[in-house]
Structure formats: structure tokens, C-alpha cells
Amino acid sequence: MNHFLEIFLTKLIIERVIEEHMSESIPISEAKKTKSGVNVEAEVISKGEPRTVNLKTGGTVDVCDAVISNADGTEENQMKLTLWGDDIKAVNVGDKVQIENGYTNEFKGEVSLTKGKFGKMNINP
């Protein structure tokens, strides 16, 4: 086999393995320790009231905090999911959500997850 073809195929295989691994959902207990590239499947167990926040760039946006749970449903496997804009109305208590490539923030000792600009959220996949 051509040496360049071997290198190309090896690279392709490695990329597929990484992509496959990156898309695997993890328990929330693990997601809390991860900063970016977070993939989680969970159920929405509560949802707060939307509020309007000021953007650093000017203007405002609506934001809402929900709580999601997966794995065994213990507090360790629950976390806040921050919903922005149109996602607020799209997500309801009891929905299953799948977050791909999300990221976490920590504020006042509490970790929260958001899909962010480059992430994706599927509802009741």
C-alpha cells in the first residue's frame, strides 16, 4: 500500500474514533468536571421563570435556569442547565434533552451547563 495512503487512512480512522468518543453522553457527575465539549443526555426535572439580562455588547436577552438529571437521579447527577432565547420556550419539564458540545461555568460554587454558541441541543431525541 502507498505510504501516503496509509497515513491518510490512519488519520481518517483516528478522526472517526475521536468524533465517536466526543459524541458519547456522560453522566452529569462527570460533566460537572468538564469545561467544554460536554455531551449529556438528561431529563428536565424543573424549570425556573425567564428573566431578562443585559448583554456586554448592548441589548438584552432572556435567560432561564432549568435543572436536568441523568444516571441514578441523585443530586450528584443533577445540574443547572442555562437556557437562552428561543430555547426557553422549547424546553419543558419532563422533556429529554441531548446537549452536544456544550460547556460548563461555575458561579458561586454551582456548576451550570449551556449549549453555547457552538453546541447543539436536541429535545426529546
Backbone torsion region of residue 5, taken as left when φ is above 0, otherwise alpha when ψ lies between -120 and 50, otherwise beta: alpha
pLDDT score recorded for residue 39? 95
Residues linked to residue 114 through DSSP beta bridges, in sequence order: 103
pLDDT score recorded for residue 19? 52
Q: How far is CA 105 from CA 13, 19, 24, 47, 90, in A?
A: 32, 23, 20, 18, 22
Mean pLDDT by 10 residues, the chain (125 residues): 72 60 79 92 97 94 96 90 96 96 92 93 93
Residue 91's closest CA among 100, 99, 83?
83
Residue linked to cell 425567564: 50
Q: Note the CATH number of domain 26-123.
A: 2.40.50.140
Q: What pTM was estimated for this model as a whole?
A: 0.78
The beta-strand segments (E) located in 1-125 are 36-47, 51-54, 60-69, 78-84, 96-107, 110-114, 120-123
